[in-house]
Each structure stands twice: as structure tokens, then as C-alpha cells.
């Protein structure tokens, strides 16, 4: 029995040793895997920590950018609000000026008709009295010139002219053109009577009024400007000026040579020369096509008293080139 027990014990010892060896091997494998897992977890944790810091920095930068953009937008919004208030105030002032200018224009048309009737009556008187002296004939236009100059100064002041008051739609321009052609018809008969009166006074030896030879030659021919008055006007306004024959009559054509900008001015109310109106029509904007203001693109009508302000604004645009 003892031998049997010894064999069983040996067999048991071998089995236990083999089982312990297998368990140790399994434990070693598990320990190696656990170490690998721990190192991988530590590496991943370190990577995630670094990524988290980077993302936090990005979030802080984005927050700062959003704050700066919001502050800029708020400031821009405040500026736009101030501009809106200013534009509303300007629009109110311009509306009041436009209404005032319309009333003054209506009064000026009535006044122009009265002056035209007075001129026709004056021409008729000259024709009826052929023996009138040259001094009396020259004295009467001088008085009328002073009177018209005073009334023109009261008609419209330069400070009341604004960019919106000079604008006029093409429909209104055509309406004024039709009115100007009707007035020109009545002025033609007055011009015939005036020429008759002048013919009666041609033989008078005291007063002879005539244009210089350079002016007459320059108007009727297309030669370069030799007229001192034309050269002076071109130097003052910076434009090349010429006279062009059109179906409705002669008009002044102005051109800026360096830019190609050109326009024409047609006299609308010839019955009243000092209270007449000029029709502005653009021929070509040239290089000003992108920067030209709106009023330069439209057809506008303005009185003779507004000529200095008109050419001042044209010169201001030309100097921007």
C-alpha cells in the first residue's frame, strides 16, 4: 500500500507541478499584456491631454476673436446709426431746399415771361421810333441789365444749391425743352424786330457795337481757338469749348481732353437772356464712367445764376482724376 501511495503522491506532485507551470505561464502572459495595456493607456492619456490643451487654446482664441468681432460690429452699428440719423436730417433739409427752389423756379418762370414781354415791347418801341439816338438805345439795356442782375441775385443763392436740387428727370427735361421751343418761336419774331431796329441805327456815327474779328471767325469755323475770350474761358474752367449747330439751335459743347468727358449746354429760354435756363446733356463720361456722380449722368436744367456753381462742381470732379 505504501508503494501505491508513493506512486499516487508522485503522480499528484507531477500534475500539480505541471498545473503550476501552466498557471505561471498564463500569469506571465497576462502580466505582459497588462503592462502593454497600461503603457498604451498612458500614451493615449498623454495624447488626449495634449489635444485637450490645444483645443482649449483654440477655444480661447476663438472666444477672443468673437469678442473683438462683436465689439467691431457694435461700433460699426453705432456708426451706421449715426450716419442714418445724419442722412435723415440731410434728406429733410434737402426736401425743404427742393421745395423752396421749386417755388423760386415757378416765380422765376413767371418773372422770365414778364421780362420777355417787356423786351418785345421795348423792341416794338425801337422799331416805331427809328430816330432814337445811340446813347438812349444803349442806356436802356444797361438799366435792364442792372435790374435783372439784382433780381437774379435775389432769385437763387449759391448756398441753396445742392446735388439733389440740380437733378431733374428726363421727362421733365423734355417738358422744359418743349416749353423752351415754344418760347423760342415767340423770341424769333422779337429777334427779327430787333434786327430791324439795329438796321435803322447802323448809319449812326457815334455808337457802333461789334464783335472782334477773332470771335466771328472762331464761331463760324472749326479752326483752333484764337479768340481771347474763348481762351480765357477754357483756362478758367479747364475744358475745351466750342459751338455746335443743332436742330434746336447753337449750343455750347465742352470737352475734357485728358479724360474724354464731354457735355453740351443748350439755351432753353432765349426770350429772357439774363433769366434764361441751360439744358445740360452729357455726351460721353470717358474715364469718369466709374467715379462720376449721379447728377453728371442725368439731363438737368439750371438757371443762368447757377452757372458758377455748376462749373465749380464739374471742376471738382475733374480734379479727382
Q: Is the pLDDT of residue 40 over 50?
A: yes
What CA–CA distance (Å, rounded) separates 103 from 100? Answer: 5
| Cα–Cα distance measured from residue 87 to residue 85, given in angstroms and rounded to the nearest whole number | 5
Rounded to whole angstroms, the Cα distance separating 105 from 98 reads: 10
Residues 149-188 have pLDDT tens digits of: 444 443 434 444 344 444 444 444 444 444 444 434 443 4
Percent residues over pLDDT 70 in the chain: 61
- Are the beta carbons of 278 and 266 closer than 8 angstroms? yes
pLDDT tens for each residue of 209-266? 445 555 554 444 444 555 777 788 888 888 888 888 777 777 888 998 888 899 999 8
Does the pLDDT at position 72 exceed 70? yes
For 271, which DSSP code?
Answer: T
C-alpha cell at 109: 418762370
Range list of H helices, the chain: 2-128, 134-155, 170-201, 213-220, 228-237, 294-297, 307-318
Mean pLDDT of the chain, nearest integer: 72
Cell numbers placing 122: 421795348
112 contacts: CB under 8 Å, gap ≥ 6? 269, 271, 272, 275, 276
Q: Which of 80-94, 99-113, 193-207 has the lowest mean pLDDT?
A: 193-207
Q: Residues 6 or more apart from 23 whose CB is under 8 A from it?
A: none
What is the residue extent of each domain of the chain?
Answer: 115-155+166-204+211-318
Q: 250-262 pLDDT, tens per residue?
A: 788 899 888 889 9
Sheet arrangement for strand 300-303: 240-246, 249-255, 262-267, 277-284, 300-303
Amino acid at each position: 500500500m505504501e508503494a501505491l501511495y508513493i506512486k499516487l503522491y508522485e503522480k499528484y506532485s507531477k500534475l500539480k507541478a505541471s498545473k503550476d507551470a501552466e498557471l505561471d505561464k498564463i500569469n506571465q502572459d497576462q502580466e505582459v499584456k497588462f503592462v502593454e495595456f497600461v503603457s498604451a493607456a498612458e500614451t493615449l492619456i498623454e495624447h488626449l491631454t495634449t489635444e485637450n490643451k490645444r483645443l482649449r487654446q483654440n477655444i480661447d482664441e476663438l472666444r477672443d476673436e468673437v469678442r473683438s468681432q462683436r465689439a467691431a460690429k457694435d461700433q460699426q452699428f453705432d456708426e451706421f446709426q449715426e450716419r442714418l440719423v445724419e442722412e435723415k436730417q440731410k434728406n429733410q433739409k434737402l426736401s425743404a431746399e427742393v421745395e423752396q427752389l421749386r417755388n423760386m423756379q415757378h416765380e422765376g418762370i413767371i418773372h422770365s415771361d414778364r421780362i420777355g414781354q417787356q423786351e418785345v415791347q421795348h423792341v416794338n418801341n425801337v422799331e416805331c421810333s427809328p430816330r432814337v439816338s445811340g446813347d438812349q438805345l444803349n442806356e436802356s439795356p444797361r438799366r435792364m441789365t442792372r435790374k435783372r442782375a439784382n433780381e437774379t441775385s435775389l432769385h437763387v443763392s449759391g448756398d441753396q444749391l445742392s446735388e439733389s436740387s440740380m437733378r431733374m428727370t428726363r421727362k421733365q427735361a423734355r417738358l422744359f425743352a418743349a416749353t423752351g421751343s415754344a418760347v423760342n418761336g415767340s423770341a424769333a419774331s422779337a429777334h427779327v424786330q430787333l434786327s430791324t431796329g439795329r438796321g435803322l441805327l447802323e448809319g449812326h456815327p457815334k455808337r457802333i457795337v461789334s464783335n472782334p474779328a477773332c470771335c466771328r471767325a472762331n464761331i463760324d469755323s472749326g479752326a483752333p481757338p484764337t479768340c481771347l475770350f474763348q481762351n480765357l474761358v477754357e483756362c478758367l474752367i479747364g475744358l475745351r469749348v466750342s459751338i455746335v449747330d443743332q436742330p434746336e439751335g447753337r449750343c455750347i459743347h465742352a470737352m475734357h481732353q485728358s479724360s474724354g468727358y464731354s457735355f453740351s449746354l443748350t439755351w432753353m429760354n432765349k426770350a429772357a437772356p439774363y433769366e434764361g435756363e441751360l439744358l445740360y446733356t452729357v455726351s460721353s463720361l470717358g474715364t469718369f464712367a466709374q467715379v462720376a456722380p449721379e447728377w453728371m449722368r442725368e439731363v438737368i436744367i439750371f438757371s443762368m445764376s447757377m452757372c458758377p456753381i455748376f462749373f465749380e462742381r464739374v471742376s471738382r470732379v475733374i480734379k479727382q482724376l
